[in-house]
Amino acid sequence: MRVYLDHNATSPLAPAARRALDEAWSSAWGNPSSLHAEGRLARAALDQARTALASFASCSPTEVVFTSGATESINAAIRGAWARAGLRRRIVVGAIEHSAVLETARALAGCTVTEVPCDTNGVVDPARFLDALGDDVAVAALQAANSETGALQPAAAAASACRAQGIPFLCDAVQAAGRLPLEAYREASMLAVSSHKLGGPAGIGLLVVREGTELSPAITGGPQERRRRAGTESPALAAAFAAAALEPPPSNLASLRDGFESALRAIVPDVRIHAEGAPRLPNTSNFAIPGADGELVVIALDLEGISVSTGSACASGAVEPSHVIRAMGYDESEARRAVRVSLGAATTDADVERLLEVLARVAARLRASRAARG
Ligand code: PLP
């Protein structure tokens, strides 16, 4: 039996989502744009999912645009606002945004990207974010919670400030969705959510585009999604996404995570727990064990049946140290030691105990071999 503790990367399909998927593949397989009975059934399933997801995201159904996932939602938001920005040639983002935000902003020709730094707890300074705004800003973006550390960001305050100044604002709510209520981000003109991070299937996400937000469509073609995103929608994926979103968030994650961290500290007293001083998502723990490379920890745990991750991204075959841990002021070797454990709805006390037992052995072994090498 494997122990899966990498829910911030993706989550297994929730049973309710699987049932919705099975049901919709057989009953709502038609093209929702077709006029005949099969099309109408597909349209009804899609509309039902849209209504459920609108209430989940605290918006109206007409403000929900289905996409293939959050990366597409983010591209649609940033590129779509940029295309309408006229002489506004600057984009303001948090320095610890997901690469979907950072790389999209950096890729725009003629765009100056202002990256607002975070503190040692991995929280973007709200005053500095607000200071960075101005009448030359085409679009601003701040995530609700960080995927690596779980640190919550001042996205609601940033959304209000942008609204007051008429700046389109994107909140990447991928990691908060399904773990925290999204109502707090009502003032964001755009909100990105991904299905596979909350127990739905991969291949679908949504972008909330609030009434009055002007975007050029990033994908052109047919008139689907009220001309905001062309391409035939998938009612089955939408139904499963909605079913997963409607599941009540698990209530025991913070106590499991806090219990894990105090037990880890008892085993490895010099462990550093990143973002420990910040309000965090209840399911996420990011830590570094001195003398133990994060990648080696991940590989050793995998061999023992436990799935966790490093914050590092694999870019062209080379493992890059996490930009998030670096932005928090740590050096490259600390960033290379970072390990992320992210719990989910099915995580049990026994899973956490097994992780601690294996981690104690793995850490001792890696530290001993590091010490032997000098
Ligand atoms: N934003 C954040 C904060 C994420 O964690 C991720 C996925 O890792 C994404 C965006 C991209 O989501 P998707 O996999 O749906 O494209």
Q: Looking at the CA of residue 73, tell me the nearest atom of ligand 1.
A: 16
DSSP state of 225: H
Rounded Cα distance, 259 and 261, in Å: 5
What integer pLDDT is reported at residue 313 of this predicted model?
Answer: 57
Nearest-5° Cα angle at 243, 348 to 56: 95
Ligand 1 centre from 298 Cα, in Å? 21
Q: Which residue has the tokens 């303001």?
A: 92
Note if 59 is an active site residue.
no
Q: Which residues line ligand 1 (CB under 6 A)?
A: 69-71, 98, 100, 143, 147, 172, 174-175, 194, 205
What's the pLDDT at 196? 98
State residue 318's pLDDT score. 62
| pLDDT computed for residue 314 by the predictor | 52
The H or E element spanning position 174 is none
Q: What are phi and psi of 37, to 5 degrees?
A: -60, -45
Average pLDDT of adjacent 10-residue blocks, the chain of 374 residues? 96 98 97 98 98 98 98 98 97 98 98 98 97 98 98 98 98 98 98 98 98 96 97 98 96 97 97 98 97 95 97 61 95 95 97 98 90 79
Q: Quick one: which atom of ligand 1 is closest to the CA of 196?
A: 15
- Using a cut of 0.95, tell me whether the model's pTM lies above it: yes
HSE toward the beta carbon, residue 253, CA cutoff 13 A: 22
* Pairwise CA distance, residues 83 & 272, whole Å: 43
As a whole number of angstroms, the distance between CA 222 and CA 233 comes to 11
Q: What are phi and psi of 11, to 5 degrees?
A: -115, 150
* 152, 279 Cβ separation under 8 angstroms: yes
CB atoms within 10 A of CB 266: 11
CA of 119 relative to ligand 1 center, distance in Å: 22
pLDDT of residue 311: 74
Q: What is the pLDDT of residue 326?
A: 96
| Cα 174 to averaged position of ligand 1 atoms, centre (Å) | 6
Question: How are strands ordered across the β-sheet holding 272-273?
Answer: 272-273, 284-288, 339-342, 309-310
Tokens of 112: 């100056």
